[in-house]
Structure formats: C-alpha cells, structure tokens
C-alpha cells in the first residue's frame, strides 16, 4: 500500500491530515509506505512509478486534482491500480458519488468498505492525451474554474465568486459537436462532458450520471442572457437546471467538441489547454474504494 499525500490540497489540509491517515493505518497493523508530493505534477510521477512496480492500492490524501494526477500517472505506466481517496481538496467532487464525504469516510472505505470499478474518460487534444474521472468542461465553466483558483482560500465559495466574475464578460460562441458520427452546431456558453454527478464541490451538474454505465452525460448551456444564467445558476446545486429549456442534455460514449474561437478546458477542475477535444469513455477501467 502506498499513501500519496498532496500537502497543498485543501489550502494545506492535506499536510495536516496525513498524520491522521498514517496513525489510522498503523493502529490497524496495515503496512504502508508514504510519498509526499513536492511540486505540481509530482503525484503523476509517483503514481506512474507505483503502477510500474504494481504497488497497490494507492491511498490518495488530496482532492480532485490529486486524483487527476494519479490517474494520468497510472495511464502513463499502462496500468490502473485500485485507488482509495481521503478527500481533503477544495471540491472532492468525484469521490462524493461513491459515498465518501469526509476524511473519516475515506479511511473507513479503505478498511471496511467495498470497491467499485468505474468508467474513466480519455481526451485527445492539442494539449496531448490525458484521462479524467469526474468531467471535462469547456467554455464558461472552464473560465469559472480558472478564476476560482485565485480564490481557493474561500473553499467551495471560490466557484461562486468565479461565476459572478464570468457573468460580467458572458457571451455565447458557436459550438460544433460530433456525436456518434452526427454533426451539429449551436451557440453555447459551455459544454460539460460528465462521468459523475458533481462539480465544484456541491454543484450537481449531471444529476443522472452513473459512474459505471459506459456513458457520458453531456450538459450544454445554450445562448441565454446574463439575467437568465444568473437565475439558472442556483439550480445547479439541486440538479434542477437540466429542466430549463436553455439546457440541453444527452448521453453518449464518444464526442468531439470545438468552439470558435477556441475555449479553455477544465478536466477534473484543472485548467489544461483549449478546444477542440475528442473525448471517449474507457469503460470500467478504475477500481475505487467506496462506501
């Protein structure tokens, strides 16, 4: 067992929780090694090396970004190890779909829970090939995520601040999709390709998403006024936004997304390049501890 800690996750909470995790494991006689991330991208390197050795499972003390790095490190090595997450990040969006809401939940899932084999997504873009487990978004939502990084001190509130700032410069742009070989064009503010339900902590972007059904839930915000989007935004916290006529939803296993002009992209809360994107499901690829 390898514990990988991101000490900067959750505004430094990762460093504080690591000793709790190590004590929990030691008290139960669980032999483990610990690796601490020293810089951005280091978790990717650690996870790649662990996958190469077959060191299993990985216990991630971090948030969505830590899971994203570990996932892509394992992909680089060509082997996905079982993963447990002790959530200490700003959002912890994906792991919440598996019943993990707290540090205590994460530890209990590791020793008393079960595992679930979930889908992941593969993206090909100008930024290269990478994988995600939560969602990948382009347009308004990626701009919000980019702005939110400046306000991480405020936790989940950082995303709300990002939304308000982005509303000032809101505009819909032409969006071209290819889904199952069929092309369509519409003006849109954002496209979200979701593997799980939540984003930004408690926003239920795709209320019907299932992490192991072999399909993405795609959510598109078509052109609307600032006032309409401002009224729509609170509904994302209940999932009711998908009932609005300005919101388009469907399921697919592969989708190509482009905007004119190209838009920022956010996989699992990270900011990584711009559109266009070619995205496909990798079904039942990752085993995750859950409750």
Q: Tell me the per-residue pLDDT of 2-33, one tens digit each, with 9 for 90 and over.
A: 999 999 887 778 788 999 999 999 999 999 99
pLDDT in tens, 129-164: 999 999 999 998 888 888 877 776 776 677 778 878
Sketch out the chain's domains with CATH numbers.
2-89 (3.40.50.10330), 128-284 (2.60.200.40)
Helices (H), 78-193: 93-96, 103-112, 140-148, 157-167
C-alpha 31/C-alpha 112 separation (Å) is: 16
Residue-level pLDDT at 5: 96
Residue 40 C-beta-side C-alpha neighbours within 13 Å: 3
Kindly give, in sequence order, each residue whose CB lies less than 8 Å from that of residue 34, ignoring residues fewer than 6 positions away.
2, 3, 4, 5, 18, 22
Report whether 29 contacts 59 (CB < 8 A).
no
For residue 59, CA distances in Å to 31, 33, 84, 256 come to 12, 10, 5, 33
CA 146 to chain centre: 14
Give the separation between CA 106 and CA 21, rounded to whole angstroms: 10
pLDDT at res. 156 = 65
């Amino acid at each position: 067992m390898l514990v990988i800690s991101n000490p900067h996750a959750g505004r430094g909470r990762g460093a504080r929780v690591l000793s709790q995790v190590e004590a929990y494991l030691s008290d139960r006689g669980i032999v483990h090694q610990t690796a601490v991330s020293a810089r951005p991208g280091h978790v990717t390197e650690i996870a790649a090396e662990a996958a190469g050795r077959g060191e299993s499972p990985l216990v991630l003390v971090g948030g969505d970004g830590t899971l994203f790095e570990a996932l892509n490190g394992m992909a680089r090595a060509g082997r996905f190890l079982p993963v447990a997450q002790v959530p200490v990040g700003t959002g912890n969006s994906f792991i919440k779909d598996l019943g993990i809401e707290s540090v205590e939940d994460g530890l209990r899932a590791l020793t008393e829970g079960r595992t679930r084999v979930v889908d992941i997504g593969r993206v090909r873009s100008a930024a290269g090939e990478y994988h995600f487990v939560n969602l990948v978004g382009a347009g308004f939502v990626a701009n919000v995520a980019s702005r939110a990084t400046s306000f991480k001190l405020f936790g989940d509130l950082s995303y709300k601040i990002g939304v308000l700032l982005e509303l000032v410069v809101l505009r819909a742009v032409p969006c071209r999709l290819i889904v199952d070989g069929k092309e369509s064009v519409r003006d849109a503010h954002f496209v979200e390709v979701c593997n799980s339900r939540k984003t930004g902590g408690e926003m239920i972007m795709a209320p019907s998403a299932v992490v192991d059904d072999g399909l993405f839930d795609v959510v598109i915000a078509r052109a609307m006024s600032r006032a309409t989007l401002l009224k729509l935004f609170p509904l994302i916290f209940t999932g009711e936004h998908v009932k609005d006529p300005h919101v388009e939803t469907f399921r697919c296993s592969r989708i190509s997304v482009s905007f004119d002009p190209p838009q920022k992209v956010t996989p699992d809360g990270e900011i990584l390049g711009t559109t266009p994107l070619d995205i496909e499901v990798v079904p039942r690829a990752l085993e995750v501890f859950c409750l």
